[in-house]
Every structure is written in C-alpha cells, then in structure tokens.
C-alpha cells in the first residue's frame, strides 16, 4: 500500500483514532438526544471520519454532503473557497453538525458557517477530526475536536495529497520529497 519512502512521521495511529471516535460519538449522542440532527460531511476529506463517527453515535440522523475546494493539489489552502456541490436537504429549523476532516486557517469553515447560518438552522455546531489551531487566520468555534495537531502537512484517514493517501487508516506526514517532486 505505502512504501517506506512515502511516510515521514506517523502522528496519529489507527488505535488512537478509533478510541477518539468512540469518545466523540458518546458526547455527540448525549448532546443530540431528541434533536432533529443533520450530519453534514464536507467532501471529500471528511467521508471516512464521518462514516466511522456516525456508527459511534446512537441518535437518528440524516446525512448530507457539501463539496468545497480550497486546496486543489497544493499543500496549503489557497484561501479561496468554492462550493462544488451544495446540500440536498433543507436545514431550516434543524440541528446541523458540520463534520470536517481538518480545520486549518479557519477560512473554509468560516465561509461554511456563514452560508449555513443564513439558512436558519435550529442549531449549528462543528466537529472536526483534526484541529490545526496554530494556522488559524479567522476565529471559528469548533464544538467537537478529535486531535490538535502541529503545523505540518498531514495525510491519511481521509486527508490527501493530490488525491492519494485518503485510504490509509492513520495520519502521517509525507516525505517532503514527494511534494517537491523529488520522489515518485
């Protein structure tokens, strides 16, 4: 699957991820008792986290997805956010939980929060797998956070570089030679 030249450092193991998801699932289940929950995954990165997290939550929910772009094939967000696919469901009067793979600069999440608030949900909260607060450019509230990570470019468990590495069950930093074009 991976060769040893691709992995620089493993930051979060598969076991740590599973434990954190159970913990988050319990808290979200507790907070959303008797609520009309809409679980909104931010495509594509959040899909794996969202699926595992949903199985750890024991309240009814509706799934929806929004696809946005702010990275392209780069290792840093461009700061320009585009909606590629909007929600299918109306969220007015519903309890919405945005499920993100990573909150980095906060620009993407800030944009999503503003868009969603204009649609008048009953409540709006955010759950992110990874939180990179050292890179924050705008202040955003993260209600549920899996792991705080250092300012490093990470892949695995839904996060990618140029479309690759999403299926790896742990989070790691890539060998910098890969994105510098020195290693194929």
Tens digit of each residue's pLDDT (9 = 90 or more) over 94-138: 999 999 999 998 988 999 999 999 999 999 999 999 999 988 899
What pLDDT is attached to residue 147?
98
What pLDDT is attached to residue 7?
85
Q: Please check whether residue 1 lies inside any domain of the structure.
A: no
pLDDT, mean over the chain: 90
Show the CA angle centred on residue 133, arms to residues 130 and 136, nearest 5°.
Answer: 120
Q: Please check whether residue 123 lies inside any domain of the structure.
A: yes
- Known catalytic residue: 104? yes
Q: Please check whether residue 78 lies inside any domain of the structure.
A: yes
What pLDDT is attached to residue 77?
55
CATH of the domain at 17: 3.40.50.2020
Per DSSP, 54 falls in state: H
Total domains, the chain:
1
Q: Please check whether residue 14 lies inside any domain of the structure.
A: yes
* Domain that residue 116 falls in: 7-179
Q: Decide: 96 and 113 in contact? Cβ < 8 Å.
A: no
Catalytic entry in 34, 95, 104, 110: 104
Which of 89-98, 103-112, 172-181 is least confident?
172-181
Closest CA to 10 of 180, 162, 157, 120: 157
What's this model's pTM, rounded to 2 decimal places?
0.89
Interval 145-167: pLDDT, tens: 999 999 998 999 999 988 889 99
């Amino acid at each position: 699957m991976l060769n040893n030249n691709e992995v620089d450092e493993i930051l979060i193991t598969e076991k740590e991820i599973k434990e954190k998801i159970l913990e988050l699932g319990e808290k979200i289940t507790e907070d959303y008792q008797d609520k009309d929950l809409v679980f909104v995954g931010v495509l594509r990165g959040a899909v794996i986290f969202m699926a595992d997290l949903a199985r750890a939550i024991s309240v009814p929910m509706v799934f929806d997805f929004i696809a946005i772009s702010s990275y392209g094939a780069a290792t840093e967000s461009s700061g320009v956010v585009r909606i590629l696919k909007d929600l299918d469901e109306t969220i007015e009067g519903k309890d919405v939980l945005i499920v993100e793979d990573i909150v980095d600069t906060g620009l993407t999440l800030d944009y999503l929060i503003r868009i969603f608030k204009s649609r008048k949900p009953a409540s709006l909260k955010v759950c992110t797998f990874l939180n990179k607060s050292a890179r924050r450019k705008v202040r955003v509230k993260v209600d549920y956070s899996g792991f705080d990570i250092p300012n490093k470019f990470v892949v695995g468990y839904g996060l990618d570089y140029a479309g690759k590495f999403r299926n790896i069950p742990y989070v790691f930093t890539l060998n910098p030679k890969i994105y510098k074009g020195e290693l194929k």
